[in-house]
Amino acid sequence: MSFDIFTATADIVKEQMDKGLIDVGLLMEPMDIEKYDFVRMQVKEK
């Protein structure tokens, strides 16, 4: 099993998830999360 790490802006990550090019994205709020399944991290960003 291997993983490729991709770094980009939230807009690009969401676009690639919508196209099925990537499976998982880490995005910071605030953002529109209506159409995504998500897990909120327990640790708050400082």
Residue 10 structural domain: 1-46
Q: What phi-psi label fits residue 12: left (phi over 0), alpha (psi between -120 and 50 degrees) or beta? A: alpha
Helices (H), 1-40: 10-18
pLDDT of residue 36: 85
Look up tokens 């690009």; give the residue: 12
Question: How many structural domains does the chain have?
Answer: 1
pLDDT tens by residue, 2-41: 888 989 998 899 999 999 999 988 888 788 878 888 888 8
pLDDT of residue 12: 92
For residue 14, the tally of other CB atoms under 10 A from its CB is 19
